[in-house]
Amino acid sequence: MLGAMMQFPLTITPILERMEKLFGAVEIVSRLPDKSIHRSNYGDLCRRARAFAAALAAAGMKRGDRVATLMWNHAWHLEAYFGAPVAGCVAHTLNPRLNPDELAYIINHAGDRLLLVDDVMLPVYERVRDSAMLERVIVVPTTGRPVPPEYQPYAEFLQEGSSGYALPQLGEDEAAAMCYTSGTTGAPKGVLYSHRAIVLHSFCLSLPDCACLSQADCILPIVPMFHVNAWGCPFAAGMAGAKQVFPGPHLDAISLLDLFEQEKVTRSAGVPTIWMGLLDALDRHPGRWKLEAGLRVLSGGAALPEHLIRGFDRHGIEVRQAWGMTEMTPLGTVCHVKSSLSERPAPERLAIRAKQGLPAPFVEVRAVVGQREVPWDGETPGELQVRGPWIAASYYNLPGEQERWTADGWLLTGDIATIDPEGYVKIADRAKDLIKSGGEWISSVDLENALMGHPAVREAAVIAIPHRKWGERPLAAVVLKDGYEANAEDLRSHLAQRFSRWQLPDAVVFVEEIPRTSVGKFRKSKLREMFAGWEWDQTADGAA
């Protein structure tokens, strides 16, 4: 027997309508490039998002047409997040940190017709102007300086829509947004998010055991709006009616902490690098910021070192680790200690919190070796595979790229993980970053996290270097904190408290910085290039 419920499409339009009917006065705060603060509210957002939708229609943008954005996190970007999808268009966020060739490739591959660009990002656009096939470029002034005459100002574009424009009725499976993977291997690949995926993801992200968003919260997404839709925070916050605060281009720790204090932020989301900077600033300036009691932040994008969890606990901030991917809208797992484990000794609870966490509702996980799922014993690693309603079923317009999906419809994540009997997922490595020494696997992530727990270490990345006898051996590239000293032996002794001798890096090399990807992760491919000619025999006994 079928249930007797209405068919009601899960689209972004009812979120927009809800925001305008219920939360018009809730604030949206944006920090501008000159550091001044711009204040608006959901009422303004919805009016302007509707005007943007009407202007897109007047400009001839049809259902499914891509509207690209090249913008920082701020209120105008949010207008595009809502305005383009409710018009039936696809909001395609572009990453300004990509090189011009990649950016032009992505714009052309996506078939973007119209670009909305911050005035401060015009130099990024101008580097691709000749190679990117865009029909129209509209400039959002964020500096107060006049828009160069060859471009149309955003305010003028907003005037072009008809006042009688009515939002179209959309199907929930229509595309709403698009993002290309950061493409550490091969060409970047586009992921097309449906309205339904974004709506369901918003419900899930808001749950108490995920980002825990209520109307009374104030969220500051540090993760860029061009990185998987700021992990879905703006949509989830809009549905909840929570105050949103955007940092613009100012992502240094002091600016962020000032904004946290001033706007009474209760929720945030960002990558571990950002949190490392914040923790360092909090430690260096005790008592300088009065942060909200109950401040809770999500850390994702890369493994969260244990010392960061401990450090944030010290400052009364709860950090929760989440794991996901561009292909997953992005939420996959979030970590919290289950009530049945809350009596475990403190070190055990800390070890649990350092895992990537429990699968979110409707996200199914399995770890696989060959064709077989490995047991959930917390020890046997396998490639993590996932499926669920907000997980991509294919890439955009790349029919030959189906090898990332199994025949029975699971996405191969490329991450190697264990799953313990309680269901906690622990990512050991990207498949290509695992180190195989003498036939045994060594997790570079575990070594990195332990190294970053040493008081003198700011950052550490570990890579495999070919070795004649052992196949591969680990090399650690380490950045020391300003004013601290440590030598290779100090760090190896520190690691020896937790790791067997054969797992220790044979070489510890001190560097000025670790190369990073455009979204702030360690770029290990670059490190491997830097150490391509490394000769073990000169430096190490190879005595793993």
Active site residue 327: yes
The distance of closest approach from Cβ of residue 11 to ligand AMP in the complex, given in angstroms and rounded to an integer, is 25
181 binds ligand AMP (CB under 6 A): yes
Q: Pick one of 326, 385, 443, 444: the residue that binds ligand AMP (CB under 6 A).
A: 326
Q: Find the DSSP H helices in 179-232.
A: 195-206, 228-231
Smaller CB separation from ligand AMP, 13 or 326: 326
300 binds ligand AMP (CB under 6 A): yes
427 binds ligand AMP (CB under 6 A): yes
Please say whether the beta carbons of 334 and 359 come within 8 A: no
User: Whole-angstrom Cα distance, residue 174 to residue 194?
Assistant: 5
321 binds ligand AMP (CB under 6 A): yes
User: Whole-angstrom Cα distance, residue 239 to residue 235?
Assistant: 6
- Residue (of 434, 395, 399, 400) closest to 414 by Cα position: 434
Active site residue 35: no
From the list 150-158, 162-170, 261-269, 320-328, the region that binds ligand AMP by CB under 6 A is 320-328
Looking at residue 513, its amino acid is E
Q: Find the DSSP H helices in 115-252.
A: 122-126, 154-158, 195-206, 228-231, 233-240
Contacts of 276 (CB under 8 A, 6+ apart): 308, 452, 458, 459
Active site residue 326: no
Q: How many CB atoms lie within 10 A of CB 257?
A: 19
Contacts of 24 (CB under 8 A, 6+ apart): 41, 42, 43, 46
From the list 9-17, 80-88, 323-331, 461-469, the region that binds ligand AMP by CB under 6 A is 323-331
Count residues near ligand AMP (CB under 6 A).
Answer: 20
From the list 132-140, 254-262, 282-290, 295-303, the region that binds ligand AMP by CB under 6 A is 295-303
From the list 87-95, 411-419, 488-496, 531-539, the region that binds ligand AMP by CB under 6 A is 411-419
The distance of closest approach from Cβ of residue 2 to ligand AMP in the complex, given in angstroms and rounded to an integer, is 38
Contacts of 282 (CB under 8 A, 6+ apart): 257, 289, 311, 315
The distance of closest approach from Cβ of residue 428 to ligand AMP in the complex, given in angstroms and rounded to an integer, is 9
Q: Pick one of 127, 430, 481, 523: the residue that binds ligand AMP (CB under 6 A).
A: 430
Q: Are strands 440-442 and 411-419 parallel, antiparallel or unpaired?
A: unpaired
93 binds ligand AMP (CB under 6 A): no
Q: What are the tokens at 81?
A: 């997040």
Q: DSSP letter string over 373-431? A: EPPSSSS--EEEEEE-TTS-SS-TT-TT-GGGB-TTSPEEEEEEEEE-TT--EEEEEEG
Residues 13, 181, 333, 413: which is the catalytic one? 181
Q: Pick one of 241, 249, 301, 359: the residue that binds ligand AMP (CB under 6 A).
A: 301
Using DSSP, state whether 259 is helix, strand or coil. Answer: helix
182 binds ligand AMP (CB under 6 A): yes
Please say whether the beta carbons of 307 and 293 come within 8 A: no
Q: DSSP letter string over 316-366? A: T-EEEEEEE-GGGSSEEEE----GGGTTS-HHHHHHHHTS-BEEPTT-EEE
Contacts of 382 (CB under 8 A, 6+ apart): 366, 367, 368, 369, 373, 374, 416, 417, 418
330 binds ligand AMP (CB under 6 A): yes
Residues 380, 436, 469, 529: which is the catalytic one? 436
Q: Pick one of 259, 302, 495, 540: the residue that binds ligand AMP (CB under 6 A).
A: 302
356 binds ligand AMP (CB under 6 A): yes
Whose CB is nearest to ligand AMP? 326
Q: Pick one of 40, 202, 268, 413: the residue that binds ligand AMP (CB under 6 A).
A: 413
Smaller CB separation from ligand AMP, 88 or 272: 272
418 binds ligand AMP (CB under 6 A): no
323 binds ligand AMP (CB under 6 A): yes
Smaller CB separation from ligand AMP, 121 or 308: 308
Q: What are the tokens at 28?
A: 């949206």
Smaller CB separation from ligand AMP, 390 or 470: 390
Q: What is the contact surface with ligand AMP in residues (CB under 6 A)?
A: 181-182, 228, 300-303, 321, 323-326, 330, 356, 413-415, 427, 430, 519
Residues noted as catalytic: 181, 327, 436, 441
